[in-house]
């Protein structure tokens, strides 16, 4: 199944205007709470993400890594001010993946590809994740983390129309359709009133 084989309207958004306009004003804030941020870092550590060269997709001024990756960090996102403020980034790339899902990197050039609380905004997620597979070394890991917060006008309709279990299933399907096998998913924070849940989905390139 490819992006266009999902139900009609699945990838529609309430605000279908130019994403460059929406993301133009810099937002130097975090989009999940401290507990969820810690859960992202812990998952990255468990999977060895900081022990290689890392590509952070849909990145911003913080990449939620516990330490600077040994092989360097490339931060790809929409806002140059946010990206240049990222203290761990060795390279920044401004790119709208909804306009061009092709990643401007050589094949097998990263040990890890991560995307934190942004997978719900992609209108070509399978295509982007196929590109993630292409740029990963064999054995490299892709890690997607997500919560229940979002900009609702920019999230896809299919994401907004389901519950949290449904969103886990969506992300698993994205990864499987992109060619990743043995996909793992988990709730990484205990649900508590007033706190953000943090879900993870990850897989290694065969």
Q: Which residues contact 46 (CB under 8 A, 6 or more apart)?
A: none
Q: Tell me which architecture the domain covering 3-204 has in CATH.
A: 3-Layer(aba) Sandwich (3.40)
Long-range contacts, stretch 27-35, CB < 8 angstroms, 24+ apart: 27/60, 27/79, 27/82, 28/61, 28/82, 28/85, 30/62, 31/117, 31/149, 32/117, 32/147, 32/149, 32/196, 32/198, 33/195, 33/196, 35/189, 35/195, 35/196, 35/198
β-strands 110-116, 184-187: how paired? unpaired
Structure tokens at 201: 């989905």
- Quick check: helix, strand or coil at residue 13? coil
Whether 9 has a pLDDT exceeding 70, the answer reads: yes
Nearest to 139 by CA among 19, 55, 52: 52
Return the CA Rg of the chain: 16
Claim: this prediction has a pTM higher than 0.85? yes
Q: What is the pLDDT of residue 148?
A: 83
Task: Categorize the per-residue pLDDT at 4 as very low, low, confident or very high, splitting at 50, 70 and 90.
Answer: low
- Show the tokens assigned to 128: 């982007």
pLDDT-based confidence at residue 1 (cuts at 50, 70, 90): very low
Q: Which helix (H) or strand (E) holds 165?
A: helix 164-177
pLDDT digits (tens, 9 = 90+) for 145-198: 999 877 788 899 999 999 999 999 999 999 999 999 999 999 998 766 668 899
Task: Quote the strand ranges of 18-135, DSSP E.
Answer: 54-59, 73-77, 91-94, 110-116
Residue 18 has pLDDT above 90, yes or no: no
Residue with the two structure tokens 């060795």:
90
Pairing of strands 136-146, 199-204: antiparallel
The pLDDT of residue 193:
63
pLDDT in tens, 31-71: 688 899 999 999 999 999 999 999 999 999 999 999 999 99
């Amino acid at each position: 199944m490819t992006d266009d084989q999902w139900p009609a309207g699945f990838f529609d958004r309430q605000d279908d205007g130019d994403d460059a306009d929406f993301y133009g004003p810099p937002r130097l804030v975090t989009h999940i709470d401290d507990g969820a941020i810690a859960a992202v870092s812990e998952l990255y550590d468990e999977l060895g993400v900081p022990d290689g060269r890392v590509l952070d997709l849909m990145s911003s001024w913080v990449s939620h890594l516990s330490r600077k990756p040994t092989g360097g960090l490339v931060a790809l996102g929409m806002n140059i001010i946010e990206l240049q403020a990222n203290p761990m980034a060795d390279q920044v790339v401004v790119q709208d993946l909804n306009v061009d899902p092709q990643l401007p990197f050589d094949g097998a050039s990263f040990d890890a590809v991560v995307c934190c609380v942004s997978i719900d905004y992609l209108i070509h997620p399978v295509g982007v994740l196929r590109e993630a597979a292409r740029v990963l070394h064999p054995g490299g890991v892709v890690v997607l983390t997500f919560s229940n917060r979002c900009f609702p006008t920019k999230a896809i309709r299919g994401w907004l129309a389901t519950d949290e279990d449904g969103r886990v299933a969506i992300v698993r399907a994205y990864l499987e359709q992109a060619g990743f096998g043995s996909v793992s998913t988990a709730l990484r924070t205990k649900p508590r009133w007033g706190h953000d849940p943090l879900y993870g989905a990850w897989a290694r390139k065969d």
